[in-house]
Amino acid sequence: MKKQRRNMLRKIAVVLLSGVLFAGMEPVETELLVVQAEETIGTENVTGIVDAVSGNETMLKEDNAGNAVISGIGWELDADGTLIISSDEGMKDWKDNGWSLHKEKVRNIIMEDGVTEIEYKAFEGCSNMISVIMPNSIVAMRDSAFSRCSSLETIVFSENLARISGSAFWGCESLKNITIPEGVRRVGMMSFAVCEGLELVILPESLEEIGFNAFVGCRQLYRVIFLSDPPEVGGEIFNTCGFEISGVQGIIVPYDKEEMYKQKWTGDLEAKDLVQYIKAHIHSWERTWTNSPSHHWHECTTECTIINIADKDGYAIHTEDAGTITKQPTETETGIKSYRCSVCGYEMRTETIQSAGTAEGNDSDNRDDNGEGGRENDISVENNMIEDITGNNVTVNYDITDLNKKDVITQPLKDHVPKTGDSTRTELYVTLAMVMGLAYLLLHFTDRRHGMTEETEKEFVLKRQRGIKQKKN
């Protein structure tokens, strides 16, 4: 029985010792090892997609996010459908090797600076494409470059184009507004034919010629604004356009060029039928101002023939006023001073006004000429440090919004108190150590080397029994 008790005590001591050692150990961070299975790509998508016609290859790779990117020489098509072409070589390689396989994946086209020419039918039939951005390095566009791009909504043209090629945007049904950039001299034959959603076209001052059937079949086209002198025109350039079907005056020309258009087109067999649709633009300027961060001007309320903002009524640079306080400062909050244009009222900038409240005795020499600014409450932590009844350092925080009231908040001043270990963990160690010591003492005095053995105990019992018997006798 005693032996079992000793064994039990030994086990207790071992458990307590293990607990102490474990409690004293810092936690060890373990790194979770995640093994990701590699995705197997079908053979039709593996690097080396072969064009069955040309035998040339386009490559499949991944971007930084792990998305598939199709690329060729000088072009890349990402998973979102953005096609980036970086050079004329890239334009040619896209047309020869990429277009036939991937045209339906294209949604946005970005041509980088350095591309100078758009290939023949380079993007024909890209039916899901919605936008095109051309750099100013592009100077030429071949025929049918964007024909049958039925989803195309917006175009940013190069400013160095001299010609919109024939059938360039034929059948682009989603186009609504087109502004041909200054510098273009010719709009080619059937350039915008059957663009059934087209509503407004603005033609530049540089325009000299419009080709045959350039806008035929644009049934929603009710306004065509000419900024140029009357150009040479081919036959039926606006056949079955919206203004022709409805009979309204949809050809808007500068008011000082109305007679010039009528005379030139009346004597031109191809253009004489257009004269009835000519309407001279007369400006009707709004009374309210339109603004940019630097200028203001009046907009025209009708189909204006002025495109350059600098030519609009009242165009001028803003003139800053002396400023107005739009929010008064209080004891605790800053105010705001606004500066506006003295002509149009556009808010040009704002300025912060410092709060009026300061601590009693603060130096007022730091205030500016308007009595603003100055130091805020400069009662430092060191000046507020006192000792509480236990002798600990505490801080006193004053509410300066009302100098007649002083709310004292006492709290340990952390920056001035030496840091110690975690007191909870220290108490645990001490308790466990005491219990372990007690267990050791119990074990020590029950051990056969230090306490009474079983044999000694038996002899002791026998002696006691003999003594008792002798007394009885």
Tens of pLDDT, residue by residue over 303-343, are 788 878 898 999 999 999 999 999 999 999 999 999 999 99
What is the residue whose two structure tokens read 């267990």? 439
- As given in the structure block, the two tokens for residue 106 are 């294209």
Final residue before a domain boundary, out of 123, 138, 153: 138
Instruction: Assess if residue 178 is contained within a domain.
Output: no
Instruction: Assess if residue 230 is contained within a domain.
Output: no
DSSP 471: H
- The pLDDT confidence band at residue 38, using thresholds 50, 70 and 90, is very low
pLDDT at 298 (0 to 100): 95
For residue 357, the enclosing domain spans: 324-366
Instruction: Assess if residue 86 is contained within a domain.
Output: yes
pLDDT at 417 (0 to 100): 45
Tell me the pLDDT tens digit for each residue of 409-432: 444 444 444 444 455 555 666 666
- The pLDDT confidence band at residue 80, using thresholds 50, 70 and 90, is very high
Instruction: Assess if residue 76 is contained within a domain.
Output: yes
Strand arrangement of the beta sheet that strand 290-291 belongs to: 290-291, 295-297, 316-317
pLDDT exceeding 90 applies to what percent of the chain? Answer: 56
Final residue before a domain boundary, out of 366, 383, 418: 366
Instruction: Assess if residue 54 is contained within a domain.
Output: yes
Q: How many CB atoms lie within 10 A of CB 9?
A: 17
Crossing angle of helices 2-24 and 423-446, in 10° steps, is 160
Tell me the pLDDT tens digit for each residue of 200-212: 999 999 999 999 9
Burial class (CB in 10 A: 0-12, 13-18, 19+), 250: buried
State phi, psi for 288 to the nearest 5 degrees: -75, 160
Instruction: Assess if residue 128 is contained within a domain.
Output: yes
- Alpha carbons 118 and 121: distance in angstroms, whole number: 8
pTM for the model stands at: 0.58
3-state helix, strand, coil in the chain (%, to 5): 25, 20, 55
Q: What is the DSSP string of 427-464?
A: HHHHHHHHHHHHHHHHHHHHSTTTS--HHHHHHHHHHH
Closest CA to 359 of 410, 397, 415: 397
Q: Which amino acid is at 412?
A: P
Contact 98, 122 (CB under 8 A): no
Tell how far CA 16 is from the center of its chain. 58
Contact 150, 171 (CB under 8 A): yes
Q: Which amino acid is at 294?
A: S
Higher model confidence: residue 303 or residue 47? 303
Number of domains within the chain:
2
- The pLDDT confidence band at residue 10, using thresholds 50, 70 and 90, is low
Instruction: Assess if residue 161 is contained within a domain.
Output: no
pLDDT at 439 (0 to 100): 61
Residue 73 has pLDDT above 70, yes or no: yes
Final residue before a domain boundary, out of 138, 167, 191: 138
First to last CA, the chain: 34
Instruction: Assess if residue 384 is contained within a domain.
Output: no
Residue 168 has pLDDT above 70, yes or no: yes
Closest CA to 233 of 213, 204, 205: 213
pLDDT at 39 (0 to 100): 35
260 strand-pairing partners: none
Long-range contacts of 402-406 (CB under 8 A, 24+ apart): 403/359, 403/360
List Cα–Cα distances, 241 to 199, 248, 367, 409, 457, in angstroms.
10, 11, 71, 81, 125
Tell me the pLDDT tens digit for each residue of 356-413: 875 444 444 444 444 444 444 444 444 444 444 445 554 444 444 444 444 444 444 4
pLDDT at 220 (0 to 100): 96
Listed in sequence order, the residues at least 6 apart from 232 whose beta carbon sits closer than 8 Å to its beta carbon are 208, 209, 210, 268
Contact 108, 81 (CB under 8 A): yes
pLDDT at 376 (0 to 100): 42
Q: Where are the alpha helices (DSSP H) in 63-220?
A: 88-93, 99-102
pLDDT exceeding 70 applies to what percent of the chain? Answer: 62
Mean pLDDT over 225-248 rounds to 94
Contact 125, 102 (CB under 8 A): no
pLDDT at 51 (0 to 100): 39
